[in-house]
Amino acid sequence: MANSIVALRAYRDGLHLIIRPHLSITEVEAAIQQEMSRMNRPLIGASVQIDLKCPTLKEEEIAYLRSKLQETYNLTVRSIESVDEQQAPPIAAAPTTHTISQIAEVQDSRDSEPARIVPYTIRSGQTEDFPQGSLIIYGDVNSGGEVRAGGDIVVLGALRGNAHAGTNGRLSAVVIAMELIPVQLQIGSFANRQPIGQKPRGYPEIARVGVEDVIIVEKFVKF
């Protein structure tokens, strides 16, 4: 049964908790609990934007809700926005850190596209190109090396060279690496160069196209 007060949705910029017009904070809290119970896996460590439909919550209610989401569900509130009912929602896509089939509004092509496994390191001067789908590299991509894929790129090592995911124009493509320190990163038509001397952060990272059409890099937990 659809929740008439809150909804958890996955958009290209991440998770959104949409709170519709309500009567009390108690109703909102109960509705959130109901929505979370529908998830097929926990959202531990994820971040969420709260979208408030008019009328909005009071400041003390927002503070309470932020605290409750952190303490009960281990969710981090990255921002809070007031949203007009007539405003178009952000572009829907698969979440970057969790796959939640119930809330994905667009079926991602990852389920049907082929993938190529490359069981070696891509060295300087080498290029690996797979426009038909995703690339999975069992090794590093050294500086001077390049990997290109029509879908996602997953490097089970250090990505120090160039990477271009979504060469077929798929902006929902992502780049994941155990150490994400590329010379240049491109997803679809959007490119990003890392600062010179960028050091590994010590954990896997994922790069994706954010809501403002810029490449965002964040800690990777899991799909």
Residue 111 dihedral angles phi and psi, to the nearest 5°: -65, -25
**Under DSSP, is residue 8 helix (H, G, I), strand (E, B) or coil?**
strand
Rounded to the nearest angstrom, the gap between the alpha carbon of residue 84 and the centroid of all alpha carbons in its chain is 24
Whole-number pLDDT of residue 93 = 39
**Spatial distance between the Cα atoms of 128 and 131, rounded to a whole number of angstroms:** 10
Read off the pLDDT of each residue in 83-103 and give the average, rounded to a whole number: 42
The helix or strand, by DSSP H or E, that contains position 47, with its residue range, turns out to be: strand 47-53
**Domain-located, residue 91:** no
**Spatial distance between the Cα atoms of 86 and 54, rounded to a whole number of angstroms:** 11
- Range from 6-15, 29-38, 81-90, 118-127 carrying the lowest mean pLDDT: 81-90
Question: 161 with 196, same domain?
Answer: yes
Whole-number pLDDT of residue 123 = 96
Read off the pLDDT of each residue in 134-158 and give the average, rounded to a whole number: 94
**Domain-located, residue 14:** yes
Question: 150 with 214, same domain?
Answer: yes
**Spatial distance between the Cα atoms of 156 and 139, rounded to a whole number of angstroms:** 6
**Domain-located, residue 159:** yes
Q: Which residue has the higher pLDDT, 8 or 85?
A: 8
Whole-number pLDDT of residue 55 = 62
Question: 125 with 176, same domain?
Answer: yes
**Domain-located, residue 101:** no
Whole-number pLDDT of residue 75 = 83
pLDDT band per the 50, 70, 90 thresholds, residue 3: low
184 pLDDT above the threshold of 50: yes
Taking a C-beta distance cutoff of 8 angstroms, is the pair 8, 104 a contact?
Answer: no
**Domain-located, residue 94:** no
**Domain-located, residue 99:** no
Q: Which residue has the higher pLDDT, 3 or 41?
A: 3
pLDDT band per the 50, 70, 90 thresholds, residue 28: confident
Question: 77 with 113, same domain?
Answer: no
Question: 54 with 124, same domain?
Answer: no
Question: 71 with 145, same domain?
Answer: no
**Domain-located, residue 93:** no
**Of 105, 104, 12, 6, the residue nearest 53 (C-alpha):** 6
Taking a C-beta distance cutoff of 8 angstroms, is the pair 135, 149 a contact?
Answer: yes
pLDDT band per the 50, 70, 90 thresholds, residue 218: confident
CATH of the domain at 147: 2.160.20.70
Whole-number pLDDT of residue 99 = 36
107 pLDDT above the threshold of 50: no
Q: How many residues does the chain have?
A: 223
**Domain-located, residue 95:** no
20 pLDDT above the threshold of 50: yes
Count: domains in the chain: 2
Please give the residue range of the domain that contains residue 25. Answer: 6-83
**Spatial distance between the Cα atoms of 42 and 49, rounded to a whole number of angstroms:** 17
DSSP H helices, the chain, are 25-37, 59-73
CB atoms within 10 A of CB 173: 26
